[in-house]
Every structure is written in structure tokens, then in C-alpha cells.
Amino acid sequence: MVINLEIFKAYDIRGVYPEEINEEIVYKIAQAYTKFLNFPTKVALGRDVRLSSPKLWEAAANGLVDAGVDVIDIGCGSTDMYYFAVANYGLDGGLMITASHNTREYNGMKMVREKAIPISGDTGINDIKGLVLSDFSHKADNKGTIEKIDLFDGYIKKMASFIDSKKIKSFKIVANANFGMAGNVINSLKKSIPMEIVELNFKPDGNFPKGKPDPLISENRKEMELRVVQESADFGVTWDADADRCFFVDSNGRFIEGSYISSILAKIMLDKKNGGKIISDPRIRRPIQAVANENNGDLIFCKSGHSFIKEKMRQVDAVYAGENSGHYFFKDYFYCDNGMIPFLLMLEYLSANPNTNLSQLNDHYKSRFPVSGEINVSVAQSVQEIIDKLKEKYQDGKEDDIDGLSIEYPDWRFNVRSSNTEPVIRINIEADSNELLGQKKQELLSTI
């Protein structure tokens, strides 16, 4: 069997089904996972809505059971639910069959150890890859068992525990589940939390009939943005297919940058906890730095990527962390990211502040902290060549290399970094004014 090593990514395993990832490969990965964790006792196994997920789930289950591991079958769910299963039930680890927001022909695996601590490239995926390539196999004398559990109600209770549902005002919300698992969760939450939901793409469908289920692609938000205006809704919210990322649009149908949402969530959590440590990736700094300064927060910057952020959160005991890509992490959710908690916190915040709406908040952040949004550029030369060129051109600025290259001046700053998942570089720029932002954007792009 020939294995395409490109399926072993920085944060997970992902490839086209069945050419790059199939039942045979998933079985081998599951077997290698048991060896890497020194043959755990009980492991959660979940899957997303993709059409190939049931077959790959079965292959993974066989790999675990043959190695003597008991499988806790959590069924079809979101990535958030899989974290909940491992951490809440005190399991030794977990596997999730998912390709997140990739197009329908893809599938893959996410892996965690106990407490839902992620296994990424440098904390285990490379070791597991080595075991797979060495054709590792283990057939235990006593096979493991498979036990199906229904964790949905427990998960919903955990979500609701983040807010005081009695204080929630009913808002009209356009919600886009992108044919993933978020729709089922919303339908359950609205039984106990007041909300008027205009449903978009709520029925799970692994064909993803409207294309790649990734709300970061602006084309994919247009349906929701238009519907928010047509319905005179208070705001719109959307999730990717595995429902671990969350994005908002205001009542005017305008997308709200992830850096602004992260800053609002940081303020909410600092208010709830009476201050504390918060973490952000360094792509955009100014909005969340201001929130930290004004709300008794101690802001720490960390390289982007969920494994880095979760590790740093545990190290410093941070109450909250945000990535500008739509991942938001909470100490009270096992230091994990969650796509539903931000939505609920936003409901609670807007209910407690009836004179404030998301359009006003969006205007406030746009005027005070102009940002470019993430610009993706395909480049012929190496990322290091580009970084060296930028270091030379902007050598009089304040430089840091927490994640890629950041250079800061009193009135503007930028961050350039390579992508862990695509052959592009990602550029983020922020400035004191939109005029300066536009100038620096042109200057940077022409330099690159």
C-alpha cells in the first residue's frame, strides 16, 4: 500500500477519499494511535456528516478494538462534542473522522489525548506517521468493546451553563449551519433559550450542495448577508461544517472581522472573570490589546494554531483565547475551542446592553481599529525570501517573530506568515486610518 505523506498535516490528517485516505489507511492510523498512547483503555470515536465518514469510522473502530481498546461511540456530531466527550467523561483520548471545512471529496482525522489535549504535527502526528510507515500492527489477545453513548443532552447543558438563559432577550437571527451539525444544536438550544431563528442549510448533508462549507470565503456568506437584510434580522451567525468556528454579520449584512469578534468575546470573559489572562494570535493586535488594557486583562500573544494556543492557555491558566480565523477558546470548556459558546455569549451581551447592537459595535471597531482582513497571496519564491525582503525594507520598525513576521510602527503594523494548510502567505495589516491602511496595503503587496 502506497501512502501519500501529504495527508499528515500540521494539526490533523486530511486527504481526498478514497485515493489519499481510505479504510485501510484509517485502520493503520488508528492502530498506530493506540501504540503512540501506550494502548489506552477507553477512547471516544466520532464522525462528521460526510458521506464517507461512516465507513472510515468503522475502519477506525476496528483498528482500536483489535488493539484491545474500548471504543466510546459518540456518533455523528461536531468537533466541539468530541472534545466534550473526551474531557467530560475522563477518557484516555479520542479520534474524530472529519475534514472540517474542506470540500465534500475530502475526509480526515483529528486526534486528542486525555483531557482533549490535541495531537498535532510536533506532538504526535509525526510519530504516528512513522508507526504507519513502519507497518505497525497490534492484535490484542482480548479485543476491545464498542459502547454507544448519547452525549447530546449533556453537551447542550454544558453550552447553556455559559450564560444566564433567564436574562436572554429574543433576537431575530439568521443562522447558517452550512449543512453541518450546528443546526441540530441550535434547534435544541432554542427550546430553553429565547431566539427567533431563520434557518439556512440546517439539514445535515455530506454532499455540501452549496460548495465548500467554509464561512471565511466571502462568497459563502452572501446568502446569509442578503437574508439578514431581507428579514430585518438583528444579526446573522454561521458555522463551518464541523461547527468549531463561528462568524457573525451585523444587521446591515456586513461581515464582522474575527479580530473584532475576538475582542468583544475577550471583554465579555474579562467582565465575567473580573480580569485575568487572555491569549491572542498576533495577526491583529490593536483591538484586543485595547480591550485588555481597559478591562483588567493580561494579554499574551501566541503562535496561531489550536495546539499552540491550547498549550499556552494551560501554561498560563488563561480564561480565554481567540484566533482571528474564528476559533475561540475557553478555560471553562476544557481549554478547548468551541463554535457555539461565542454565539450564546453574544446573545447574553446584547441582551444586557439593549442600547447596543452588532452594527454599532462593528462601526466602533471599524472606525477605531481599521484592519485589512486577511489577504492570501500565492507566491513563487520561498516565504523566507519574502520575510528577508520585508525585514530589510522595514528595518526601522519594531519587529517580532512570534508567528511569521510582525513589524510595528506608531501608526500602523503588519503580520506576514505562511499557511500551515495552503501554498500561500497570509498578510494582515492594521493602521490608525483607512487612508493609511490602503496606502500600506498597496506598498506591501507591491513589495511582495
Q: Which residues are catalytic?
A: 100
* Phi, psi dihedrals of residue 15, rounded to the nearest 5°: -170, 175
Question: Do residues 244 and 338 lie in contact, with contact meaning Cβ atoms separated by under 8 Å?
Answer: yes
- All residues at 6 or more sequence positions from 293 whose CB lies less than 8 Å from its CB, including other chains: none
Amino acid making up residue 108: G
Instruction: Give helix 23-36 / helix 125-133 axis angle, nearest 10°.
Output: 120
- All residues at 6 or more sequence positions from 248 whose CB lies less than 8 Å from its CB, including other chains: 235, 236, 237, 238, 255, 256, 261, 346, 358
Q: CA 187, CA 119: separation in Å to the nearest integer?
A: 32
Pull the grid cell for residue 108. 480526515
Helices (H), 193-305: 222-230, 258-273, 286-294
Question: Do residues 174 and 228 lie in contact, with contact meaning Cβ atoms separated by under 8 Å?
Answer: yes
Q: CA 145, CA 277: separation in Å to the nearest integer?
A: 42
Pull the grid cell for residue 255. 461581515
Question: Do residues 336 and 329 lie in contact, with contact meaning Cβ atoms separated by under 8 Å?
Answer: yes
Pull the grid cell for residue 33. 494511535
Q: CA 326, CA 261: separation in Å to the nearest integer?
A: 8
Q: CA 331, CA 324: separation in Å to the nearest integer?
A: 18
Q: CA 181, CA 88: separation in Å to the nearest integer?
A: 20
